[in-house]
């Protein structure tokens, strides 16, 4: 995934997941975005390889695939 394709919500997700694994309800509490919207973005980021879906709605970062902002 290219950094230009990333949305503000995607960077918010990455910021929280840098602290460790998490799920949509917790991300909603931390970021202010709705759980449904976060679930959509989590799936998209997972499909693109930026996140790893480890099961039961829990995601973690795939550090090798985080887009460069430079």
pLDDT tens, residue by residue, 9-18:
999 999 999 9
Joined tokens for residue 7: 């949305």
- pLDDT digits 0-9 by tens, 41-59: 999 999 999 999 999 999 9
pTM of the predicted protein model: 0.93
Mean of all residue pLDDT scores within the chain: 95
Joined tokens for residue 40: 């959509």
Give the separation between CA 24 and CA 22, rounded to whole angstroms. 7
Bridging pattern class, strands 51-55 and 58-61: antiparallel
Nearest to 25 by CA among 6, 33, 15: 33
Nearest to 24 by CA among 63, 62, 59: 59
């Amino acid at each position: 995934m290219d950094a230009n394709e990333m949305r503000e919500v995607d960077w918010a997700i990455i910021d929280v997941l840098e602290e460790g694994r998490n799920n949509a309800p917790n991300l909603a509490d931390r970021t202010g975005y709705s759980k449904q919207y976060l679930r959509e973005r989590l799936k998209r980021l997972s499909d693109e390889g930026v996140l790893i879906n480890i099961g039961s709605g829990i995601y973690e970062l795939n550090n090798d695939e985080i887009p460069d902002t430079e």
